[in-house]
Amino acid sequence: MNRILLHHDEISPDGNAVVCDARAQHIINVLKAEPGQSIKTGVINGLIGTSTVVNLNKQLGRVNLKCSHTIPSPSAWCDLILAVPRPKVMKRLWAQLAALGVRRIALINAFKVEKFYFDSHVITAEFYTDLLLEGLQQAGTSLLPEVTVHRSFKFFVEHELDRLFEPQCRFLAHPTTENSSISSSLPSSPVLAIGPEGGWTDHETETLLNKSFTPFSMGKRILRTDTACIAAIARLGGIFDKN
């Protein structure tokens, strides 16, 4: 954890907070903090800053903090439309997507997505919230990505896409023999659509291209979903100077 995140209701009006869970263990055993030491902290979906360790109990795994959060968190900078992958792949992705700076994650259906993926607990807020927080604490930010789930590709494209994502800066991940040329002067944050491991169908590709998506490729190699997400977002981050 490069920044310890606290829920708003964990901090008293006078700025004091007590942590007794894995965060406390991290402060004690990894940071090896001592009373009087300052550590990086923040409020989930709120300001970031530092906290002073007032006292700690190593035996009980308890840490008392005096918080000072006055700095806006760095904003997330891109959005992701992702055809739902296998549950074990999605489980690996949650923390990485938050750490990379994804603002909104729309999980959608596609022809090559297995229907039972949508019944997995891996795409429920009760499961993924802690993993998103793990990614934020790694990156040192505090703003949780917004996650939506869409079981119909057709309904999403026709009724939800334009409501959720601006049309000026849309990219469609699709392997080709040529790399994409993208201008970094585009007017808004990018949204990247990544298909299932079997790839978008020709119909899905045509439908998205007709909705102002620009083909985006890192070459002709076909990548696994988790590899493609991380590599493509990192490449966009370099183009849009969001490293």
Mean pLDDT of the chain: 92
Residues 138-172 pLDDT 10s: 999 999 999 999 999 999 999 999 999 988 889 99
- Please tell me the distance from the alpha carbon of residue 137 to that of residue 104, in angstroms, as a whole number: 18
pLDDT, average across residues 98-113: 97
Q: Name the pLDDT band for 199 (thresholds 50, 70, 90).
A: confident
Q: Are 113 and 82 in contact (CB under 8 A)?
A: no
Gap between the Cα atoms of 38 and 129, Å rounded: 27
Percent of the chain clearing pLDDT 70 (strictly above): 93
On whether the CB atoms of residues 66 and 15 are closer than 8 A, the answer is: yes
Which region among 32-46, 93-107, 148-162, 182-196 has the lowest average model confidence (pLDDT)?
Answer: 182-196
> Does the pLDDT at position 117 exceed 50?
yes
pLDDT confidence of residue 184: 54
Q: What is the pLDDT of residue 218?
A: 74
Q: What is the mean pLDDT of residues 57-76?
A: 96
pTM, full prediction:
0.91
Q: What local confidence, expressed as pLDDT, does residue 1 receive?
A: 86
Q: How confident is the model at residue 216 (pLDDT cuts 50, 70, 90)?
A: confident
Q: In 3D, which of 71, 40, 37, 41 has the Cα closest to residue 54?
A: 37
* Phi, psi values for residue 236, rounded to 5°: -60, -40
Least confident window among 120-129, 152-161, 221-230: 221-230
Query: What was the pLDDT predicted at 23?
Result: 96
Q: Report the candidate in 98, 88, 150, 83 with the shortest Cα–Cα distance to residue 129.
A: 98
DSSP state of 111: T
Q: Is the pLDDT of residue 55 over 50?
A: yes
pLDDT (0 to 100) of residue 177: 44
- Is 3:48 a contact under the CB 8 Å cutoff? yes
**Over 50: is that where the pLDDT of 243 sits?**
no
Average pLDDT over residues 211-233: 86
Identify any residues that bridge with 18 across adjacent strands, giving them in sequence order. Answer: 64
- Mean of the pLDDT values across residues 110-118? 96
